[in-house]
């Protein structure tokens, strides 16, 4: 790697073929908004993407106006994760546990890394985010809620001697000081925590481990850099917002001008049933990503539209079908 790339910003994604489309749009959104750099490093941690998928992702890098060093890092789960009993939510895969392995998988010379989930769209230039002073902390992340939240906060906050109002972060966007991360063996400690306390986690995944290990060692970033689904909807904010996270006086700007949109609902923008208010931003970047040719993209969108129309029709007629089924002695659907 040349010196120009050594000094370039480093972005890391992790995912499998289920999230490859999301990764393409996320990557394109980073490249389309980034200024002030002539080179960028992108690493993709994956369990074994096929050649076609890799070629499509390389085509995304080729759309950039900057020079992109794109590296695919295959993860041997038997080698890195088999020693740990890891618990995950339904529908998730073990790729969510690749994050703690970053220090083992990417070259040692990288001093700062921006990790991004595959279900994000970057709307603002992350140049200022990349140079954020972490004030001696290991990572920078966006607050999600307080640890005492019973539904999805840090379940063992009392045992960890934390204040019930201590902040809790979302692990989908992480600005990492790699030197401190390596020195304090953050990845290994997170996996060990998840192994030992997995059944007690409120959310089965990596987030509980990161918040436990990094409690008091992370810097809160502005909420615009990880705009979660429930920040954008007033009803959801009133239902899920905890201790004013994010602060109400920031909501209007966050909703109208997010820096990074994070599609945290179950249905992702490329799937049938997604009703995210900023779903079209995904389509904008995916269309321009180079993943599909123009005719291929048009066909893909058309098929998605047909599937959504069929789903809507099925849901709309469900009461009538139910009624008819009961009258005929049949089984309602």
pLDDT along the chain (333 residues), means of 10: 75 96 98 94 97 97 94 97 92 93 96 97 97 97 87 89 92 98 98 95 93 97 95 86 82 94 95 95 97 96 94 71 58 45
Torsional sign, CA 298, 299, 305, 306: positive
* DSSP category for residue 175: E
pLDDT value at position 244? 80
pLDDT value at position 332? 44
Count, residues in the chain: 333
Q: Do residues 123 and 258 lie in contact, with contact meaning Cβ atoms separated by under 8 Å?
A: yes
* DSSP category for residue 222: P
The structure tokens listed for 35 are 């200024």
Q: Where are the domains of the chain?
A: 3-291, 296-333
pLDDT value at position 184? 97
CATH of domain 3-291: 3.90.550.10
DSSP 214-235: TTTSEEEEPGGGSB-GGGS-HH
């Amino acid at each position: 790697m040349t010196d120009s790339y050594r000094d370039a910003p480093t972005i890391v994604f992790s995912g499998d073929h289920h999230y490859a489309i999301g990764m393409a749009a996320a990557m394109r959104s980073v490249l389309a908004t980034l200024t002030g750099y002539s080179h960028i490093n992108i690493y993709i941690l994956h369990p074994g993407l096929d050649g076609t998928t890799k070629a499509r992702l390389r085509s995304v890098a080729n759309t950039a106006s900057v020079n992109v060093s794109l590296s695919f890092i295959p993860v041997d789960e038997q080698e890195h994760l088999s020693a740990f009993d890891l618990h995950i939510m339904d529908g998730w895969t073990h790729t969510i546990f690749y994050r703690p392995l970053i220090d083992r998988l990417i070259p040692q010379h990288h001093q700062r890394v921006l990790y991004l989930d595959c279900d994000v769209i970057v709307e603002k230039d992350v140049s200022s985010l990349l140079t954020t002073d972490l004030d001696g902390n290991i990572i920078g992340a966006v607050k999600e809620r307080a640890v005492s939240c019973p539904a999805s906060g840090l379940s063992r906050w009392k045992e960890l001697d934390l204040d019930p109002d201590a902040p809790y972060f979302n692990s989908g966007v992480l600005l990492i000081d790699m030197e401190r991360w390596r020195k304090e063996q953050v990845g290994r400690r997170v996996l060990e925590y998840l192994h030992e306390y997995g059944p007690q986690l409120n959310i089965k995944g990596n987030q509980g481990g990161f918040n436990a290990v990094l409690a008091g060692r992370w810097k809160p970033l502005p909420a615009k850099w990880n705009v979660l689904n429930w920040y954008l909807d007033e009803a959801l904010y009133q239902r899920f917002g905890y201790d004013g996270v994010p602060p109400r006086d920031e909501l209007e700007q966050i909703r109208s001008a997010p820096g990074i949109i994070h599609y945290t609902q179950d249905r992702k923008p490329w799937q049938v049933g997604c009703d995210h208010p900023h779903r079209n931003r995904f389509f904008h970047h995916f269309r321009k990503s180079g993943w599909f040719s123009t005719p291929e993209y048009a066909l893909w969108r058309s098929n998605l539209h047909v599937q959504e129309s069929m789903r809507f029709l099925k849901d709309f007629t469900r009461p009538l079908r139910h009624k008819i089924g009961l009258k005929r002695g049949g089984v309602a659907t």
